């Protein structure tokens, strides 16, 4: 093999790019290989129709780590965030609506229309979520400890423990009590309004085939707000601008990025060491280290091969739960849709959420448990052109609708035959809440879990590279005893969402993986 590099990063998603920038910044000769013609993976912005730039995957970067933004001077590379005045607009079946504003006082006034008691309790709830999420934030940029070692590893975990202790005795015990709870139990302790609990509780099940009554979903509620309660922000120009800024920074430090270049195989020598990659076109590229941004199953089964790994490890990888259940309907609109209970255009600048109660969400999840598409789905929509009109032609809009639950494995039929029916189902679910939406549609794009797998490489369409349940987090992610980004193949590392801390547009797995690679570098 020729073209020797220090490190090859497989996959140009945001985590792969974060890893590449940090390694290049440290002086390594880095090559990023992306199979698609566009960077970003499941956080890409694509011109799906002429003049319409669509966030085909993730809708915002509210969870992206500020440490990375500052370390890499991403604002100097064109990254500019905007934040909408509204966080969540939740139309209700009775014609009312609930809006959660970023302004707490406005939110309290909104909640009071549904429950004066809930309005009184809301500020204390928001403060508690903020404090508990801050503890999780302290874990984001840490490598999970090796429990087989004598100590807890990185001193950063001592800081996490100190942060937890600073909550105070009663609050620390409350944190430990509620973390494994079902989101419904946690929210029922605070509130009585179905509308409020549904609007908030939807964050606890995002991307997972779990309902709000599943154990551990309170942890996911906190995780979704690691950068602050209701902190949603999006890059101007679409989520793809985050990847563009990372790519610009990587190139500035000397990294090479190739798109349209698929990796067929990770080369492993007889000593069990990764030595480079074999491309789909048959060419070989050597490297001292290989870092995979693909999910664990794809990395070990497809790119390495079971014959190179110990059976017990491969059994653990095979048992990772994925269960993708997310679909998406992207719309090009000739005008702005109107919603019941809406009095101000600003209400539509955040997420438009069809989740009228926790019971509604649980029933939607029940369908998916048995391989059925939810008859009454949870919908989470955005109209990004309200705050960034450059994404569409003048006077026109984009609406992206993320839908749960659409199970990867259907009991009846397949995704080829069910695709258009899924789009119709989503629009039918929205029709009572936005009567004029159907008349505004000029184009539509439907993305199923199978599309996520075939186009972006997400096993079973899992947007988190594996379900984020309690059994698949921290030292158990991706599998027990291999939670430190290293793998049984020497010089092969993982940097994707299948590692700690998990999914979402955070950049944390890429950051942590780069640190571990540099620890082993000569």
User: What is the DSSP track for 175-197?
Assistant: HHHHTTS-HHHHHHHH---HHHH
> Tell me, what's the pLDDT at 155?
58
Beta strands in 178-323 (DSSP E): 234-235, 256-258, 263-268, 274-279, 284-292
One domain, residues 214 and 255: no
What's the pLDDT tens digit per position in 6-51? 999 999 999 999 999 999 999 999 999 999 999 999 999 999 999 9
One domain, residues 506 and 438: no
Question: What does pLDDT average to over the chain?
Answer: 94
Low-confidence ranges of the chain (pLDDT < 50): 1, 150, 152-153
3-state helix, strand, coil in the chain (%, to 5): 40, 20, 40
Decide if 11 contacts 292 (C-beta within 8 A).
yes
> Tell me, what's the pLDDT at 474?
84
* 58 within domain boundaries: no
368 is written with which tokens? 């998916």
* 89 within domain boundaries: no
What's the pLDDT tens digit per position in 103-157? 999 999 999 999 999 999 999 999 999 999 999 999 999 999 876 664 544 556 6
* 96 within domain boundaries: no
406, 437, 456 — which closes off a domain?
A: 456
* 229 within domain boundaries: no
CA distances from 128 to 136, 172, 195, 221 (A): 13, 11, 20, 12
One domain, residues 148 and 218: yes
452 is written with which tokens? 């996520």
- Longest Cα–Cα distance of the chain, Å, equals 70
Q: Which residues pair with 162 in a beta bridge?
A: none
438, 456, 474 — which closes off a domain?
A: 456
Q: How many CB atoms lie within 10 A of CB 147?
A: 12
One domain, residues 329 and 443: yes
29 φ/ψ angles, rounded to the nearest 5 degrees:
-90, 110
Q: How many domains does the chain have?
A: 3
State the Cα angle at 495 between 494 and 499, rounded to 5°.
80
What CATH number should be reported for the domain holding residue 385? 3.30.519
One domain, residues 331 and 452: yes
One domain, residues 378 and 499: no
One domain, residues 349 and 450: yes
> Tell me, what's the pLDDT at 145?
85
Q: Domain containing 191: what range?
A: 102-223
One domain, residues 442 and 365: yes
């Amino acid at each position: 093999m020729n073209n020797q590099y220090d490190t090859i990063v497989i996959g140009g998603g945001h985590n792969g790019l974060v890893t590449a920038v940090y390694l290049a910044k440290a002086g390594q000769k880095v090559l990023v290989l992306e199979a698609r013609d566009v960077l970003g993976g499941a956080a890409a912005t694509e011109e799906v129709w002429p003049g319409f730039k669509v966030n085909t995957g993730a809708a915002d970067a509210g969870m992206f780590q500020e440490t990375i933004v500052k370390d890499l001077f991403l604002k100097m590379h064109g990254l500019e965030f905007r934040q909408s005045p509204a966080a969540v607009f939740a139309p209700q079946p009775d014609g009312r609506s609930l809006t959660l504003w970023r302004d707490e006082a406005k939110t309290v006034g909104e909640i009071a229309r549904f429950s004066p008691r809930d309005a009184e309790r809301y500020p204390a709830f928001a403060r508690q979520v903020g404090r508990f999420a801050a503890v999780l934030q302290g874990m984001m940029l840490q490598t999970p400890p090796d429990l087989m070692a004598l100590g807890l590893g990185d001193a950063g975990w001592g800081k996490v423990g100190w942060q937890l202790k600073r909550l105070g005795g009663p609050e620390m015990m409350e944190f430990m009590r509620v973390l494994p709870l079902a989101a419904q139990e946690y929210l029922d302790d605070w509130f009585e309004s179905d509308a409020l609990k549904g609007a908030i509780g939807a964050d606890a099940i995002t991307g997972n085939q779990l309902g709000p009554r599943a154990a551990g979903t309170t942890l996911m509620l906190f995780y979704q707000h690691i950068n602050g309660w209701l902190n949603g922000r999006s890059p101007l120009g679409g989520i793809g601008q985050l990847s563009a800024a990372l790519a610009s920074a990587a190139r500035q430090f000397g990294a090479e990025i190739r798109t349209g270049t698929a990796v067929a195989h990770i080369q492993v020598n007889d000593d069990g060491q990764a030595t480079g990659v074999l491309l789909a076109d048959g060419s070989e590229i050597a490297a001292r280290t290989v870092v995979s941004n693909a999910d664990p199953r794809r990395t070990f089964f497809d790119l390495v091969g079971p014959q190179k790994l110990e059976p017990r490890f491969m059994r653990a990888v095979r048992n990772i739960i994925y269960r993708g259940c997310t679909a998406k309907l992207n719309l090009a609109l000739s005008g702005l849709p109107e919603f019941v209970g809406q009095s101000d255009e600003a209400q539509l600048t955040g997420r438009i959420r069809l989740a009228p109660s926790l019971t509604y969400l649980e029933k939607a999840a029940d369908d998916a448990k048995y391989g059925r598409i939810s008859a009454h789905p949870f919908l989470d929509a955005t109209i990004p052109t309200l705050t960034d009109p450059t994404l569409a032609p003048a006077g026109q809009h984009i609406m992206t609708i993320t839908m749960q639950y659409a199970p990867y494995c259907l009991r009846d039929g397949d995704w080829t035959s069910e695709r258009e029916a899924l789009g119709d189902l989503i629009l039918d679910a929205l029709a009572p809440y936005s009567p004029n939406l159907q008349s505004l549609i000029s184009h539509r794009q439907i993305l199923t879990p199978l599309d996520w797998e075939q186009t972006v490489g997400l096993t079973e369409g899992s947007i988190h590279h594996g379900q984020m349940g309690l059994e698949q987090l921290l030292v158990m992610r991706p599998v027990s005893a291999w939670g430190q980004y290293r793998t049984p193949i020497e010089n092969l590392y993982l940097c994707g969402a299948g590692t700690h801390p998990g999914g979402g547009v955070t950049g944390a797995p890429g950051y942590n993986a780069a640190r571990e690679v540099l620890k082993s570098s000569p």
